[in-house]
């Protein structure tokens, strides 16, 4: 299956996601957070650096759970208002199952 190139907006959202997760991790070891979330340290590193701009929902949910941040917070951060003050999909909310 051929994957289409990401749009500039998708790339920017991926970078915002990575910055948010990195800040949320704080001084916790990447290895510990990755293992607790059930992902490889390399996957977490790529997400935090923005190299994986569209990670799987289950991956983000697991990492967010380990970091103690809600999926609502993740969604708000990756859809933060741009320079014009528009927040894409501002009315949509993601909730954790359970």
Sequence-ordered alpha helix ranges (H) in 1-98: 8-25, 30-37, 41-49, 57-67, 71-78
Give the pTM.
0.77
Q: What is the pLDDT of residues 48-93, one digit of tens each?
A: 999 998 999 999 999 999 999 999 999 999 987 653 334 444 443 4
Interacting residues of 21 by C-beta distance below 8 A, sequence separation 6+: 44, 47, 48, 63, 64, 67, 74
The residues spanned by each domain of the chain are: 8-78
Q: What is the pLDDT of residues 7-53, one digit of tens each?
A: 999 999 999 999 999 999 999 999 999 999 999 999 999 999 999 98
Domain boundaries 8-78, corresponding CATH code: 1.10.260.40
Q: Virtual CA dihedral for 83, 78, 27, 61, nearest 10 degrees?
A: 180
What is the pLDDT confidence band of residue 3, given thresholds at 50, 70 and 90? confident
């Amino acid at each position: 299956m051929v994957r289409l190139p990401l749009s500039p907006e998708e790339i920017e959202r991926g970078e915002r996601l990575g910055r948010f997760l990195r800040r949320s991790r704080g001084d916790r070891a990447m290895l510990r957070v990755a293992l607790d979330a059930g992902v490889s340290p390399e996957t977490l590193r790529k997400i935090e650096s923005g190299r994986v701009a569209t990670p799987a929902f289950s991956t983000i949910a697991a990492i967010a759970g380990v970091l103690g941040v809600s999926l609502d917070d993740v969604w708000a951060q990756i859809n933060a208002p741009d320079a014009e003050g528009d927040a894409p999909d501002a009315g949509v909310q993601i909730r954790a199952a359970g």
